[in-house]
């Protein structure tokens, strides 16, 4: 017999999966992202022994290459093939039809990519080769959005090309098609650029492994041969290999070269590109300096030669703009170009770079700050500070990708902080990632058409190891994939969670580290129901106002009975960058036995415990007596998220209770509390 191909066995070998019980049957209702249309039929398909063969009609050969790389063999005679694939147009379409009958598997798609995705659906149904019987069915499927991306911060921690290729495999299984590589940032430059060797001789290495140690230390760079040098970079050969590997799996690798901010490492290697002209001073390129355009255009030329991606990401986020207003060259540029302010100066630079990238036939993508001072006409906005900037860009006629941090920053903690690894902060459980709807009903027509899709980001400051990185991606990337691919009316969290639990098992068997969804703890219990206490509903007089940025419920927030969840950013914690100093009016003199408030610390987000809390009581609101003090005993050196109740017991009557929380002395430190409880 000709059937020597080893589809199943090959995938088992590739993924090193122990075979599951022969009796289990793979079903289309387990697939993530949920397909558009599924019709089940009677009967099962049994994989032939030892395995199955494929035949492809049409296409450009990429899929055949992929299948053969998995040690499958191609049947020259289509009548003998077990999997019959027909690619009718080769038009880039990602849509497909997959029909499983008792005797054959038939795949049709207008494009190579669609046929590839039919294979991925099949891989999920077979649990990557460990299930030998499949439910007969027809799946007709197509993506909702053309762009479905995952971001990798390889600057904060360099990841090997093997790590990236392993994630490309998982992305393919999830029908994600864009890998955004954040190749440059203060923590390290990660790409060989022939014309500027110091970028990889110096700016790719630092003397500390842990980002926190480096960031809180001297933030210096070193050469590769220095003792303890930590870092790395991709050679051009590495990138070609990654790009090719991704291409075979319908994934485009999008390079990001940061500008004008987050560029400390470049300016350490080439100080003349900064406003001060000195290393270790500036974070932003000097826009008054013509040589930065020469530098960036030379770098981008090499990048464009290396990456076939239509999209070239130029960062654009969080420039400090600190040096520009004082810099004579920047001032001259603003004068000569009639630029009103530093925002327009930034916009001038982005426009120039956009024109350059466009002259090479490519399209610029930038984080939403590129809108400041005027958006370049052809630029794609990657909207991270909520969806609003992206929607505004779409309304202006630009295209956008939504990656709002509140839903898609997978570096945020995914479960109760006490059981999770230290993170940058936040609280982003799977269900919240899943709940994001990119296009509310109010956005329609051409505005809606300008949405390219969605992306999740994983910034790696606190994610040193590869296994920790995988833990942050999976299963939350499943939720992103389903929002990016599936129609909204097909989405259902309970069903998704069931499928996610199974896919987690599959990924674990394939050697990925994932969050253990089955053991999810969930929300902070205190936040689940309103708290009853003596001061609930009482008037709060602010001796120092709270921050307009984090008002929670405003003037009533601290006595509304509503406790915060795991993160200060959930609109239930009230924030201030000053002391918290409030007086609560109980309306009349009442017995007071307890006064307390919970504070939160998340050092990664500059949120600190108060140094001390003083509690005073008064009958008339003018003369106060100190009733108690509570001191901080939580170290401020760890980024671990902590909660602490500062309280005092008393035994008296009072109408007014004043609580004064003294903030951490660090400049820029925040103080957050959710409720002042009096009993
Ligand atoms: C960003 O998170 N600064 C894009």
Question: CATH code at 394?
Answer: 3.20.20.80
Q: 399-432: string of b/e by CB count within 10 Å (b at 16+)?
A: bbbbbbbbbbbbbbbbbbbeebbbbbbbbbbbeb
- Residue 339: inside a domain: no
- Mean pLDDT within 625-647: 95
Q: Is residue 345 part of a domain?
A: no
Question: Is residue 509 included in any domain, yes or no?
Answer: yes
Q: How many CB atoms lie within 10 A of CB 136?
A: 19
Output the CA 262–ligand 1 centroid distance in Å: 10
Contacting residues for 584 by C-beta, under 8 A, at least 6 apart: 535, 538, 539, 540, 541, 558, 559, 656, 657, 658, 659, 676, 678
Torsion (CA) 336, 340, 346, 347 in degrees, nearest 10: -90
Out of 141, 176, 202, pick the residue that ends a domain: 141
Identify the residue whose C-alpha is closest to ligand 1 atom 3. 317
Q: Is the pLDDT of residue 629 over 90?
A: yes
CA of 596 to the centre of ligand 1 (A): 36
| CATH, residue 79 | 3.30.379.10
CA-proximal residue: ligand 1, atom 2 (nearest): 384
CA angle 106, 108, 110 (to 5 degrees): 170
Q: Are residues 580 and 473 in the same domain?
A: no
pLDDT of 398: 97
Residue 15, pLDDT score: 39
Is residue 421 domain-resident? yes
CATH label of the domain that carries residue 658: 2.60.120.260
Question: Which range of residues forms the domain containing residue 120?
Answer: 6-141
Ligand 1 atom nearest residue 315's Cα: 4
Residue 130 and residue 35 in one domain: yes
Cα–Cα distance measured from residue 140 to residue 569, given in angstroms and rounded to the nearest whole number: 41
Q: Are residues 425 and 463 in the same domain?
A: yes
Q: Is residue 347 part of a domain?
A: no
Ligand 1 pocket mutation pick from 186, 384, 389 by most atoms within 8 angstroms of CB: 384
Instruction: For residue 358, report the distance from its CA to the centre of ligand 1, in Å.
Output: 24
* Higher per-residue pLDDT: 418 or 19: 418
pLDDT value for 71: 67
Residue among 151, 320, 367 to mutate when testing ligand 1 (max atoms within 8 A of CB): 367
Asked if the structure places residue 348 within a domain, the reply is no
Of 141, 168, 199, the residue that ends a domain is 141
Sign for the CA dihedral angle at 264, 266, 269, 274 comes to negative
Counting atoms of ligand 1 from 1, which one is nearest the CA of 384? 4
Q: What is the mean pLDDT of residues 661-676?
A: 97
Residue 22: predicted pLDDT: 45
Share of the chain above pLDDT 70, in %: 96
Tokens at 642, concatenated: 């902590």
193 and 52, same domain (yes or no):
no
- The residue annotated as part of the active site, out of 185, 256, 482, 674, is 185
User: For 164-219, how does the pLDDT look when each residue is reduced to its tens digit (9 = 90+)?
Assistant: 999 999 999 999 999 999 999 999 999 999 999 999 999 999 999 999 999 999 99
Residue 201 among the catalytic residues = no
CA of 183 from ligand 1 middle (Å) equals 14
Q: In this predicted structure, what is the pLDDT of residue 656?
A: 98
pLDDT value of residue 23: 57
pLDDT at 662 > cutoff 50: yes
Same domain, residue pair 482 and 592: no
Atom of ligand 1 lying closest to residue 457 CA: 2
Across 48-112, the runs of DSSP E, i.e. the strands, are 54-57, 83-87, 96-100, 105-109
Span from the CA of 317 to the centroid of ligand 1 (angstroms): 6
Distance 151 CA to ligand 1 centre (A): 11
Burial category of 548 from C-beta neighbours within 10 Å (exposed 0-12, middle 13-18, buried 19 and up): exposed
Residue 212 in tokens: 């926190």
Sheet strands (E) in 293-369: 311-315, 363-367
CB 481 within 8 Å of CB 148: yes
Given the residues 90, 201, 297, 318, select the one marked as catalytic.
Answer: 318
Ligand 1: atom nearest CA of 382 is 4
Residues 35 and 159 in one domain: no
**Cα atoms in the 13 Å half-sphere on the side-chain side of 247:** 14
Is 93's pLDDT higher than 60? yes
CB contact set of 190 (below 8 Å; sequence gap of 6+): 154, 155, 158, 181, 183, 184, 204, 232, 233, 234
In the chain the first and final C-alpha atoms are separated, in Å, by: 83
Query: What pLDDT does 464 receive?
Result: 98
Which atom of ligand 1 is the closest one to the Cα of 318?
A: 3
**Is there a domain that residue 220 lies in?**
yes
CA atoms within 13 A on the CB side of 647: 17
**Do 170 and 311 share a domain, yes or no?**
yes
Pocket test for ligand 1, best of 317, 369, 401 (most atoms within 8 A of CB): 317
If you write DSSP's letter for every residue of 385-447 in order, what string do you get? S-SHHHHHHHHTT--EEE--HHHHBTTSB-S-GGGS---SS-B--HHHHHH--SS-TT--HHH
Atom index in ligand 1 nearest the CA of residue 367 equals 4
Q: What tens digit of pLDDT does each residue of 234-292 get?
A: 999 999 999 999 999 999 999 999 999 999 999 999 999 999 999 999 999 999 999 99
- Residue-wise pLDDT for 440-488, tens only, equals 999 999 999 999 999 999 999 999 999 999 999 999 999 999 999 999 9
Mean pLDDT for the chain?
94
| Ligand 1 center from residue 251 Cα (angstroms) | 23
Structure token digits, residue 327: 């810099």
Q: What is the pLDDT of residues 133-156, one digit of tens each?
A: 999 999 999 999 999 999 999 999
- CA 454 to ligand 1 center in whole angstroms: 15
Q: Which of 318, 319, 403 to mutate to test the pocket of ligand 1 (most atoms within 8 A of CB)?
A: 318
Domain boundary among 519, 535, 563: 519
Same domain for 413 and 561, yes or no, is: no
CA 405 to centroid of ligand 1, rounded, Å: 8
Kindly state whether residues 137 and 286 are assigned to the same domain: no
Is 238 a known active-site residue? no
Q: Is residue 49 domain-resident?
A: yes
Could you confirm whether 94 is annotated as catalytic?
A: no
What confidence category does residue 6 fall into, taking pLDDT thresholds of 50, 70 and 90?
A: very low
Is residue 362 located within the same domain as residue 315? yes
Predicted local distance difference test score (pLDDT) of residue 52: 83
Number of domains composing the chain: 3
Q: Say if residue 419 is in the same domain as residue 562.
A: no
pLDDT digits (tens, 9 = 90+) for 546-589: 999 999 999 999 999 999 999 999 999 999 999 999 999 999 99
CA distance 116 to 122: 10
Q: Whose CA is nearest to atom 1 of ligand 1?
A: 317
The token pair at 101 is 């009958």
Q: In this predicted structure, what is the pLDDT of residue 190? A: 98
Give the gyration radius of the chain's Cα atoms: 28
Task: Name the nearest CA neighbour of 585 among 679, 656, 534.
Answer: 656
Of the listed ranges 375-379, 540-544, 659-663, the one predicted with least confidence: 375-379
**The token pair that represents 127 in the structure block:** 């649990």
Say if residues 199 and 189 touch (Cβ distance below 8 Å). yes
Summarize the confidence of residues 619-624 as an average pLDDT: 97
- 638 pLDDT band, cuts 50/70/90, is confident
- Catalytic residue (choose from 180, 262, 313, 664): 262
Tell me, yes or no, whether 465 and 549 share the same domain.
no
**Pocket-forming residues, ligand 1, beta carbon under 6 Å:** 317-318, 367, 384
pTM: 0.93
Give Cα 587 to chain centroid, integer Å. Answer: 47
């Amino acid at each position: 017999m000709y059937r020597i191909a080893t589809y199943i066995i090959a995938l088992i070998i590739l993924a090193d999966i122990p075979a599951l019980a022969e009796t289990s049957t793979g079903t289309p209702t387990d697939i993530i992202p949920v397909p558009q249309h599924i019709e089940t039929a009677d009967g099962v398909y049994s994989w032939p022994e030892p395995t199955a063969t494929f035949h492809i009609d049409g296409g450009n050969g990429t899929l055949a290459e992929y299948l053969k790389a998995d040690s499958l063999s191609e049947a020259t005679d289509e009548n003998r093939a077990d999997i019959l694939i027909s690619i009718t147009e080769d038009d880039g379409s990602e849509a497909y039809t997959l029909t499983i009958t008792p005797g054959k598997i038939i795949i049709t798609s207008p494009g190579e990519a669609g046929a590839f995705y039919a294979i991925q659906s099949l891989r999920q149904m077979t649990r990557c080769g460990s299930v030998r019987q499949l439910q007969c069915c027809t799946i007709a499927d197509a993506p909702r959005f053309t762009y479905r991306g995952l971001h990798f911060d390889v600057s904060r921690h360099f990841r090997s090309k093997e790590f990236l290729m392993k994630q490309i495999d998982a992305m393919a299984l999830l029908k994600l098609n864009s890998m955004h590589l954040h190749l440059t940032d203060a923590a390290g430059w990660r790409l060989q650029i022939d014309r500027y060797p110091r970028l990889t001789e110096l700016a790719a290495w630092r003397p500390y492994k842990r980002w926190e140690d480096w960031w809180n230390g001297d933030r210096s760079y070193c050469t590769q041969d220095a003792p303890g040098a930590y870092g790395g970079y991709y050679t051009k050969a590495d990138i070609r290999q990654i790009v090719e590997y991704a291409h075979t799996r319908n994934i485009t690798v999008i390079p990001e070269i940061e500008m004008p901010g987050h560029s400390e490492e470049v300016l350490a290697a080439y100080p003349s590109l900064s406003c001060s002209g000195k290393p270790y001073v500036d974070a932003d390129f000097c826009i008054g300096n013509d040589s930065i355009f020469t530098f960036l255009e030379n770098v981008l030329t090499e990048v464009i030669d290396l990456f076939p991606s239509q999209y070239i990401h130029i960062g654009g986020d969080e420039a400090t703009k600190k040096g520009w207003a004082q810099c004579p060259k920047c001032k001259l540029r603003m004068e000569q170009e009639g630029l009103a302010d530093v925002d327009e100066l930034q916009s001038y630079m982005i426009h120039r770079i956009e024109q350059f990238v466009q002259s090479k036939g490519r399209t610029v993508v930038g984080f939403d700050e590129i809108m400041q001072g005027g958006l370049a006409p052809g630029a794609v906005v990657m909207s991270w500070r909520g969806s609003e900037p992206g929607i505004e860009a779409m309304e202006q006629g630009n295209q956008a990708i939504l990656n709002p941090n509140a839903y898609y920053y997978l570096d945020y903690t995914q479960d109760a902080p006490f059981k999770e690894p230290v993170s940058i902060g936040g609280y982003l459980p799977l269900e919240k990632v899943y709940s994001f709807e990119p296009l509310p009903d109010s956005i329609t027509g051409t505005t809606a058409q300008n949405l390219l899709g969605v992306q999740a980001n994983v910034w790696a400051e606190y994610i040193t190891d590869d296994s920790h990185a995988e833990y942050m991606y999976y299963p939350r990337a499943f939720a992103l994939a389903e929002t990016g691919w599936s129609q909204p009316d097909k989405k259902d969290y309970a069903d998704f969670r069931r499928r996610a639990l199974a896919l987690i098992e599959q990924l674990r068997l394939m050697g990925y580290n994932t969050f253990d969804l089955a053991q999810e703890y969930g929300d902070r219990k205190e936040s689940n129901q309103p708290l009853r206490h003596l001061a609930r509903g009482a008037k709060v007089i602010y001796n120092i106002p709270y921050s307009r940025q984090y008002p929670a419920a405003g003037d009533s927030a601290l006595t509304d009975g509503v406790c915060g969840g795991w993160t200060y950013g959930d609109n239930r914690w009230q924030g201030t960058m000053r002391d918290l100093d409030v007086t609560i009016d109980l309306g009349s003199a009442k017995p007071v036995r307890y006064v307390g408030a919970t504070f939160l610390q998340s050092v990664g987000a500059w949120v600190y415990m108060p140094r001390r809390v003083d509690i005073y009581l008064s009958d008339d609101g003018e003369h106060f007596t100190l009733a108690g003090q509570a001191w901080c005993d939580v170290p401020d050196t760890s980024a671990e998220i902590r909660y602490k109740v500062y309280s005092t017991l008393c035994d008296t009557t009072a109408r007014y209770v004043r609580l004064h929380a003294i903030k951490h002395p660090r400049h820029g430190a925040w103080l957050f509390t959710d409720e002042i409880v009096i009993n």
